[in-house]
Amino acid sequence: MFGLFEGKPRSKVGKWLDAKGITQEWLAKKTKINRNTISKIASDKNYSPSLATVKKIMTAIRQVDENARSEDFFDV
């Protein structure tokens, strides 16, 4: 399952949230996306959200980092 001392699995979005000290709850509130979906996006590297979901997430991320690009977080 999880490797010793590796912690929880994280996607690029999850790693960004961790680095910025931002919670998944904040992202869920800003985007109005279901908390379970946010959790999946933050932890599953293979999860591919819809374009509408990516747009909502990027709008929220850009409130913190205006130079963020969707390519930095998602395979688009």
Interval 47-61: pLDDT, tens: 999 999 999 999 999
The answer to the question of residue 4 being in a domain is no
- Domain with 28, as residue range(s), is 12-72
Number of domains the chain is built from: 1
Distances from the Cα of 63 to the Cαs of 2, 3, 19, 44, in angstroms? Answer: 32, 34, 15, 23
d(CA 9, CA 60): 22
Tell me what the pLDDT averaged over the chain comes to: 92
Q: Return the CATH number at 66.
A: 1.10.260
Interval 7-26: pLDDT, tens: 789 999 999 999 999 999 99
The answer to the question of residue 21 being in a domain is yes
The answer to the question of residue 3 being in a domain is no
The answer to the question of residue 6 being in a domain is no
